[in-house]
Structure 1
Amino acid sequence: MAYRHLFREASCVRCPDSRETVNHLLFKCCFARLVWAISPIPAYPEGEWTDSLYANLYWVLNLEVEIPKLGKIGNLVPWLLWRLWKSRNELMFKGKEYDAPEVLRRAMEDFEEWSTRRELEGKASGPQVERNLSVQWKAPPYQWVKCNTDATWQLENPRCGIGWILRNESGGVLWMGARALPRTKNVLEAELEALRWAVLTMSRFNYKRIIFESDAQALVNLLNSDDFWPTLQPALEDIQQLLHHFEEVKFEFTPRGGNKVADRIARESISFSNYDPKLFSIVPQWLRSTLIG
């Protein structure tokens, strides 16, 4: 800020004995160091951030190359940098001060919202959509059952809908679940709630070999990886704890066409007048045409 002649002093707002530079603000400041320390981002190899902004940025922006096992969590870095910068401005210009866990939480929320939007935008259009819709549901192997899950989420609607359907190796419907919920923060959370409810119900029904299938690629990737998403972690841990009820379990992705029945259930459930869960062992009239088609 001193370089723009906005202030006479160039001291850091949090550590007055240090000169405020971009490198200090993002990496060397005591507050920035604390945020990085509690984040899932690995520390600089030497254990201390350097005096070179370029060296520090090179490290955090190339984590996928330096540490391939880190996975997608490396994409958190831009949002963490942005929140560090924004928290400094909030403190300086508005007098608002956020602690380190709050800054990290907000960066995580930014990251998760961005990831969800990428997932939605990544759903192909045109010919690719037609190919996805033409995919048919496939029955599970012998002595297995398959549970398809889905969610309906609309920004303008105060509620969302979740649903699942369980079928056997011959395609016969065993059970279905439909439920309305208060709108979650994003569509990925709604998809996760649909899956959590399905896993909980299947564990109580004592099925042993089961495939959970969804058309939400981000959700399936999350279940089949070690990625850490703090705001989703409680639901993920619930699912993990329930898995010991099964002898074998798989989480698989299917294009939209292979999940159209679960999609229809979710879209119907958003219109329910209350949030009570509904279970069906007989196919309701409103679903029959989708199931036959």
Structure 2
Amino acid sequence: MVSDLIDPSSNSWRTEMISDEFNQDDVLPILSIPLSQVGIDDRLVWYHTTDEVYSVKTGDNADEICQDFAFGLWRLWKNRNEVVFNGIHGHPLEILETWRKSTTKYRAFVAPEPANNCHRVTKPITDYGKTSGMWQKPRYETIKIYTDAAWCKNTMHMGVGWLGRDFAGLLQATGGSGVGYCHSAAAAEAIAIRAALMACIDHRFDDVIIESNARSIILMLKKEVVIDFSIECILGDIDILEQKLMSVSFAFVSREGNRAAHSVAKYVFKDRRSLTWDCIGPAFLFNFLA
């Protein structure tokens, strides 16, 4: 049973058991499959249409199907050329992942800019749009949370970091984890946001702005682009965690404006531990925050 491979106390894969029981080529792909941290219910997923009915006349997803088809043909042609001219045989999972990344990047690029004051029905969420590289203070009593991830394609190892600052720019808490695996950089960025929300609950930050330089993930969370089904488990967790806070908003921040969270992600990635710091923070953050 798959459930036997999962540690119920931590909602994580039993790494040693999987390493012992499966072929080594299959270990990392299994460990990289995302697991729910809050226990979302299993459900059938149909993301092509809102009414769960699809026909050749369906127009909502026609463009996306054409995009998938076009990028798929291009990826197959590129792989064919690698085999014929260079003798390189790509792994099927890597080919599929590259195909998925190409379509995701394209859709994020052509997606319209978020509209102002785009609210969810379930709770007040303000669209702060794209932020600059300079510090922009939030409202009084609002905590701004920055998130980022570090991920290695070869080992699928990841590190996720987050930090929270108040309206005066003072650090309230920071932390991250470098003990997990995931199948893509997008998954790592989504996991970083999930970790940040869990930390907000632990620290009783009820009014927060979550900022990330992963534009595609932010658009998915705002329901402005089609959700990537490969990380739907993580996004489902985020949706549930949101409901436990008074107010949550998501915004895209430039990479330049997200250096502090990136430094935390890199630190835990190399250290391979889960760490949390209080308002004093670690020494390597001082210059970034200053």
Fold shared per TM-score above 0.5:
yes
- Considering Cα pairs closer than 8 Å and 6+ residues apart, tell me whether 1 or 2 has the greater RCO: 2
State the partner residue of 1:44.
56
Counting only pairs closer than 5 Å after superposition, residues 1-293 of structure 1 correspond to structure 2 as: 40=48, 42-45=54-57, 66-67=59-60, 75-78=67-70, 109=97, 111-115=99-103, 135-225=133-223, 227-272=226-271, 274=272, 276-281=273-278, 282-292=280-290
Q: C-alpha separation between the residues in 2 aligned to 1:288 and 1:117?
A: 33
- Structure with greater helix percent: 1
Paired residue type of 1:241: I
Other structure's SS at 1:142 match? coil
**Shift of residue 121 of structure 1?**
9.9
Q: Which runs of 5+ in 2 are unaligned?
A: 1-45, 76-92, 111-129
Contact kept? 1:191, 1:216, Cα under 8 Å: yes
Which piece of structure 1 moves more, 202-211 or 216-225? Answer: 202-211
Contact kept? 1:138, 1:258, Cα under 8 Å: no
Contact kept? 1:215, 1:259, Cα under 8 Å: yes
**Shift of residue 223 of structure 1?**
0.6
Contact kept? 1:79, 1:110, Cα under 8 Å: no
Q: C-alpha separation between the residues in 2 aligned to 1:190 and 1:158?
A: 10
Contact kept? 1:75, 1:111, Cα under 8 Å: no
Q: C-alpha separation between the residues in 1 aligned to 2:56 and 2:150?
A: 42
Q: C-alpha separation between the residues in 2 aligned to 1:178 and 1:114?
A: 28
Q: CA 1:106 to 1:43, structure 2 compared with 1: closer, same or farther past 3 Å?
A: farther
| 1:71-114 deviations in Å (ceiling 9; x for gaps) | 8576334467899xxxxxxxxxxxxxxxxxxxxx9998565322
Q: Which runs of 5+ in 1 are unaligned?
A: 1-37, 46-62, 84-104, 123-131
Q: C-alpha separation between the residues in 2 aligned to 1:240 and 1:204?
A: 17
Other structure's SS at 1:258 match? helix
Other structure's SS at 2:139 match? coil
| 1:219-249 deviations in Å (ceiling 9; x for gaps) | 1111111623221111111110111112211
Which piece of structure 1 moves more, 178-187 or 191-200? Answer: 178-187
Paired residue type of 1:112: R
Q: C-alpha separation between the residues in 2 aligned to 1:72 and 1:249?
A: 29
Count residues in correspondence.
Answer: 206
Supply the RMSD in Å over aligned alpha carbons. Answer: 3.7
Other structure's SS at 1:253 match? strand
Q: C-alpha separation between the residues in 1 aligned to 2:172 and 2:207?
A: 14
| 1:190-241 deviations in Å (ceiling 9; x for gaps) | 1011111111121232222110001111111111116232211111111101
Q: CA 1:158 to 1:248, structure 2 compared with 1: closer, same or farther past 3 Å?
A: closer
| 1:240-262 deviations in Å (ceiling 9; x for gaps) | 01111122110000111211100
| 1:36-71 deviations in Å (ceiling 9; x for gaps) | xx77263212xxxxxxxxxxxxxxxxx7xx43x888
Paired residue type of 2:218: V
Q: C-alpha separation between the residues in 2 aligned to 1:173 and 1:121?
A: 33
State, as a whole percentage, how many aligned pairs show the same letter: 23
State the partner residue of 1:91.
none
Paired residue type of 1:235: I
**Shift of residue 270 of structure 1?**
1.3
Which piece of structure 1 moves more, 249-258 or 182-191? Answer: 182-191
Q: C-alpha separation between the residues in 1 aligned to 2:174 and 2:237?
A: 21
